[in-house]
A = this chain, B = another copy of it.
Amino acid sequence: MVIAQQALLEHWQGHRRLTRRFIEAFPEDQLFGFSIGGMRPFSAMALEMLSLAAGGIQGIATGRWTSVKDLDHHSKAPNPATRAELLARWDEVTGQIDSLWPKIPPSRFTEIDKAFGQWEGPVYALFLYLIDNEIHHRGQGSVYLRSLGIDPPAFYDRS
């Protein structure tokens, strides 16, 4: 074993701080409206990251997984419709992660579980997937920003 549980939390939250700056970097109308190649606007990608993070930390910490169809970005529930609402929800999930993380026993990470009732694997792999998915979509968002003539927030800055 070569990576500590606390280091993974810092790694995740560092990426989430960077993604938060991406949400702030978009002009609000473009956040909800701009698209390339028929892809979703960045707000929809951010909403996916949010519901996977909220459902993910709950599932990892408690073993209770929200099913895929009940995740916010798939459900009929009202979603954040402004940047302020999106950021408020982002910060709420940040707090949930910080509060649940210390309650996860280290042995949990090598257990096999089925994320969101659908994807089976060791918990560390399910966890890494959440971060990878966020980096992937944020990378897409960086092309949106460049295409809008806006310099994306620095990739290496996780402060």
On A, residues with C-beta under 8 Å from B are: 1-5, 7-8, 11, 15, 36-39, 106, 109-110, 119, 122, 124-125, 128-129, 131-133, 135-140, 142-149, 155-156
Contacts and interface: CB of A to CB of B under 8 A. Distances in A.
B146 A142 contact: no
A155 B143 contact: no
B146 A39 contact: yes
A139 B135 contact: yes
Interface SS of chain A: helix, strand, loop or mixed?
Answer: helix
Contacts of A142: 136, 139-140
A-B residue pairs, 7 tightest by C-beta: A139-B139, A37-B146, A1-B1, A2-B109, A37-B147, A143-B143, A136-B139
A2 B106 contact: yes
A144 B39 CA distance: 11
A38 B146 contact: yes
A149 to B, nearest CB: 8
A133 B138 CA distance: 11
A5 B38 CA distance: 39
Contacts of A4: 1-2, 110
A155 B135 CA distance: 12
Q: Residue among A37, A122, A138 with the most chain B CB within 10 A?
A: A37
8 contacts: A1-B3, A2-B3, A2-B109, A2-B110, A37-B143, A37-B148, A136-B155, A137-B139
